[in-house]
Structure 1
Amino acid sequence: MSEIDPEAMRRVLGHYPTGVVAVTAVHEGEPVGMAVGSFTSVSLRPALVGFFPDAGSTTWPRIRAAGRFCVNVLGEDHQEVCRLFATRGADKFAALGWEPGATGSPVLDDAISWIDCRLERVQEAGDHFLALGRVVDMGVKEAGGPLIFYRGGYGGYRAPLAS
């Protein structure tokens, strides 16, 4: 089999929309966080979610060491929050309100929903890791559409009203 060109793969998979979340934790008394576009529900029983942090991430080792994390679902108006959490070395929490969730991980004030987790397992997956979290607590904070990343840009989605 021939090797798939990473740029071609990125271009093709860019045609699949992904939601954007901020994964947060507290490591050595300081809040840490990263933007993630690879979050997914894994299992209802037991309640498991997962995401795929890049192996080169400087934030992931701190979240992993914390052993717990919170997935904050970003709303369609949170493009700047997403960019902040995607920036290396930025003080991501200086201008953001948050409160500790059940695990102590930051639940962002502006998140539209959140899922607080204990790190269950980590598996190597190529140039990423698969991080599985057991859901400890969760909630919905406000109505509104999620932030979507599609073909290199951000947008939103409003579901039609149920009849």
Structure 2
Amino acid sequence: MPVDRAEFTAALGQYAAGVCLLTVRDGIDDVGTTVSSVMSVSADPPLVAVGLSAAGYPAEVLEEVGTCGLTVLGAQHAIVAARFSSAGRPSARHLLESVPWSRAPGSEAIVLDDGLTALDCRLERLVEAGDHVLALLAVDEVLPGGPAGGPLLRHRGRYVDATGHPPGRP
């Protein structure tokens, strides 16, 4: 019997996951997307995997360019995460007008200055996985983050802080 998609999504929503911002700089613009399907794959060599919508523009641009930045978002970044998860979003630079950022040295992708940490990555390969692709990324450099703070999490379809509350609320 096939699994009901809504039931499956609701079940996985029970799993709290960290939230990252994946950005790619191509020759024309900067593209970014919020991702919560990120996992450590290997320490030697350093590899991470990121789940992306197979039909999405970020996966297409990442495959074409071959490098990206991955910023681990703190609880203070809930608005940034929401901006990058909405459909029809403009250039990454426009979505970050009031947020301090810089460029990762290798990929030249945008990384947030006050993120918990950031990774400068190179695409090893894309692996088809249903309606998504897994981007296997080689980490070329770990970039320091801003002041220590709590992580931004995605839980039950909402962004929350480490206490399970919406960021900025008691």
Give me the TM-score of the superposition, normalised by structure 2: 0.87
RMSD: 1.4
SS of aligned partner of 2:86: coil
Q: Counterparts of 1:89 and 1:100 in 2: how far apart (Å)?
A: 23
Q: How many residues align?
A: 157
Q: Counterparts of 2:75 and 2:81 in 1: how far apart (Å)?
A: 10
Say yes or no: does 1:93 pair with 2:96: no
Say yes or no: does 1:128 pair with 2:132: yes
CA-CA distance at 1:58 after TM superposition: 2.2
CA-CA distance at 1:140 after TM superposition: 2.9
SS of aligned partner of 2:57: coil
- Displaced runs of 4 or more, over 3 A: none
The answer to whether the 8 Å contact 1:37/1:149 transfers is: yes
1:139 counterpart (127, 138, 143): 143
CA-CA distance at 1:10 after TM superposition: 0.6
More helix by proportion, 1 or 2?
2
Q: Counterparts of 1:86 and 1:155 in 2: how far apart (Å)?
A: 15
Q: Counterparts of 2:39 and 2:65 in 1: how far apart (Å)?
A: 20
Q: Summarize the alignment of residues 3-14 of structure 1 with structure 2, pairs less than 5 Å apart.
A: 3-14=2-13
Runs of 5+ consecutive residues of structure 2 not aligned to the other structure: 164-170
Percent sequence identity is: 34
SS of aligned partner of 1:4: coil
Runs of 5+ consecutive residues of structure 1 not aligned to the other structure: 159-163
SS of aligned partner of 1:9: helix
CA-CA distance at 1:32 after TM superposition: 1.0
CA-CA distance at 1:98 after TM superposition: 2.1
